[in-house]
Chains A and B, each alone.
Chain A
């Protein structure tokens, strides 16, 4: 058997993040041993995602159509927009089942030291949405780190003229965690954001 095609597959798989030569070899030989249908199905899924996936023209989430299913869904509350950094964050919030509004994906966060300036994010589109739509609340669900916090502060200032409620997701300790191992910043934030029960 010629190892040329296997070597090509290994090299191609190594382009993926966190895949080194050993893992790529293991995956290549596994693909070789797979039923043809399954292998074709993987190949088709990769092609489909490259051919059909695009950004929703409203929220900039990944979508197959011009407007994504979430934005099209009339049962969702269009007066609330949840702002997230990456498309992956949408599915995490959707899994909670607690938010029934719309989303806006920024595709990054502000970082002065890395040269990530506001025009590199989908911020103008966000203010356009707030201007035109019947939005009453924008929930800032950027990451709870310095870049995410800075982005949230910038958006809050950007939206101030529109007289809408701008909220930030709560900070604090993760469920299943232990106070003993919490650092002072996280613990301090938990105290600041405490609730009456």
Chain B
């Protein structure tokens, strides 16, 4: 069976002498894994098409429902080479890719996920590096929503009225009156107070249309607060820390305040 589609290369894993196993987010079929024969040789017909972030048009050959079809053709639609050449920027994009891979399973199609990533990459490529910080945040909010794991920041999950503290175990804000309904273990597993500014920013990103988000220019403090909160929420949901985040700590790409914020989750 021959499958032709578009995709973005997320990850490659070397196999044997010169082969690769690729993880690709396809336009219409979610994450796919594919086998590419000899792309690591200098005269490979794939050239630089199979590098991470490449937006490519691909042809796959394999039995129907094959777990590892063979990649027979890959033509670059857009290489995003500029993003790959900026260390810090590529590192932050790698974090987005890792989050996406952690939240969505193989061959699960989610409407709009592919376009969300393409739009985000296009904006980051076009904007100044300082302006693009907000794009990473926008992507995290939107991708959590697509995965059905958006944190609830407005109104207590029990009574729906009062404001309170966010409990990671509940994925929601719980007011002081309803706090006692949370199991003891969950109550101590992590909670955080979130400022109204961050809540408003989050709701705006979540509800406004993607095109209108251009108008939002939040300050760095607010971006940082919401981003570090979302990182903890993601960590709780996927039940592990992100390798890319760990890489950022070790290469000192993150500011010290960011590192502390990631660790400081208990109120």
Q: How far is the CB of B3 from chain A (nearest CB, A)?
A: 21
Interchain CA distance A185-B54 in the complex, whole Å: 10
**Size bracket of the B interface:** 20 to 34
Which residue of the partner chain A has the closest CB to B39? Answer: A145
Interchain CA distance A103-B79 in the complex, whole Å: 32
Our pick among A150, A176, A181, A185 for the contact of B90 (Cβ within 8 Å) is A150
Contact indicator B16/A18 (Cβ below 8 Å): yes
Contact indicator A17/B16 (Cβ below 8 Å): yes
Contact indicator A113/B11 (Cβ below 8 Å): yes
Interchain CA distance A153-B85 in the complex, whole Å: 8
Cβ-based interface call for B76 (8 A):
yes
- Given A119-B250, A150-B87, A113–B81 Cβ distance below 8 Å? no
Contact indicator B43/A112 (Cβ below 8 Å): no
Contact indicator A146/B51 (Cβ below 8 Å): yes
**Size bracket of the A interface:** 20 to 34
Cβ-based interface call for B94 (8 A):
yes
Contact indicator A185/B91 (Cβ below 8 Å): no
Which residues on B sit within 8 Å (CB–CB) of A181? 45, 47
CB<8 Å pairs between A and B, sample of 18: A110-B247, A112-B95, A112-B98, A112-B244, A117-B247, A117-B250, A117-B251, A119-B250, A149-B85, A174-B42, A181-B45, A185-B47, A185-B49, A185-B54, A185-B76, A185-B79, A186-B47, A188-B81
Hey, which bits of chain B sit against chain A, CB under 8 A?
Answer: 10-11, 16-17, 42-43, 45-49, 51-54, 76, 79, 81, 84-85, 87, 90-91, 94-95, 97-98, 243-244, 246-248, 250-251
